[in-house]
Amino acid sequence: MRRLHSMVWMLGSFLATCAALAVTLAQAANGQTAARADRWNAEDRAVLASLSLKRLAPVPVDPSNAVERLPAAVDLGKVGAEQAEERTRDAKTALNKQRAARPFLDHLYRPEQRWIAPPEPDTIVCRCEEVRAGEIRRLVTEQNCPGPNQLKSFVRCGMGPCQGRLCGLTAVEMIAESRGVPVSEVGYYRIRPPIKPVTIGDLATLDVPERSDAVHM
């Protein structure tokens, strides 16, 4: 069985490499690589670099970052709306090509269910609040806890310093398994700012315009 798994893993890696090579060769054959690179002039490269965009040859920037950050470049007046729309379209096309093999790899290398939703009741799911797997299942089956946001009210799962980064996916999988419904029906934690811990000093130095209805002590 172990040898078979190794052979399947090697086959999957080989197919993923072939798919990436085929995309690169197709772009080069159609002249898309040079055309796409020419559309990014020196000023645009500087603007996007200032927005912390990663370089990824032959595409000038990481497509996922381009899709997310180009609206900011438009707001700064560095890129026109039509240019941004065209480049966003190109970035999405490149991103879709890069993600073409993802469903196959996800299906091939999906972890065993016991690693996704631990069956042992004493397994700690939320490290910040020390919430165990058995407690989550009990709340879902006995207290009719429908989702992760309600789980916060019961046991503060996902409300610790990590804000659900470590326990979120596991908690959602366990709730879906206990309810016998798809994960998409359960939902996920509602993300609220700040996304990461912020010090009082950082808040004090924010450049926020003074409100006319502010109360001065």
Angle, CA 209 vertex, CA 204 and CA 213 arms, to 5°: 100
How many other CB atoms are found less than 10 A from the CB of residue 215? 5
- Mean local confidence (pLDDT), 72-83: 80
Amino acid at site 181: V
- Tell me the pLDDT band of 40, cut-offs 50, 70 and 90: very low
Query: Mean pLDDT for the chain?
Result: 77
> Among the three residues 104, 137, 160, which one is the final residue of a domain in this structure?
104
pTM equals 0.52
Torsion over CA of 180, 185, 186 and 189, rounded to 10 degrees?
160
Q: Which of 15-29, 64-78, 122-136, 162-176 has the lowest mean pLDDT?
A: 15-29
Q: Is residue 205 part of a domain?
A: no
Per the structure block, which two tokens stand in for 173? 């999988």
Q: Say yes or no: 17 and 36 in one domain.
A: yes
The CA R_g of the chain, rounded to the nearest whole Å, is: 24
What is the number of domains present in the chain? Answer: 2
Q: Say yes or no: 83 and 38 in one domain.
A: yes
d(CA 191, CA 78): 30
Q: Is residue 174 part of a domain?
A: yes
Q: What is the pLDDT of residues 134-181, one digit of tens each?
A: 999 999 999 999 999 999 999 999 998 888 889 999 999 999 999 999
Q: Yes or no: say if 144 and 154 are a contact pair by the CB < 8 Å rule.
A: no
Domain span including residue 58: 13-104
Q: Say yes or no: 136 and 68 in one domain.
A: no
Q: What is the pLDDT of residues 97-144, one digit of tens each?
A: 888 888 888 888 888 888 889 999 999 999 999 999 999 999 999 999
Q: Say yes or no: 99 and 40 in one domain.
A: yes
CATH code for the domain in which residue 124 is found: 1.10.10.1100
Q: Is residue 210 part of a domain?
A: no
Q: Yes or no: say if 12 and 20 are a contact pair by the CB < 8 Å rule.
A: no
Q: Say yes or no: 96 and 123 in one domain.
A: no
Q: Say yes or no: 24 and 55 in one domain.
A: yes
E strand residue ranges, 117-193: 124-126, 131-132
Beta bridge pairs of residue 126: 131
Q: Is residue 192 part of a domain?
A: no
Residue 21 has pLDDT above 50, yes or no: yes
For 57-62, the CB contacts below 8 A with 24+ separation are: 58/24, 58/27, 58/33, 59/91, 59/94, 60/36, 61/91
SS3 100: coil
d(CA 179, CA 168): 17
Q: Phi/psi of residue 61, each to 5°?
A: -135, 165
d(CA 40, CA 46): 10
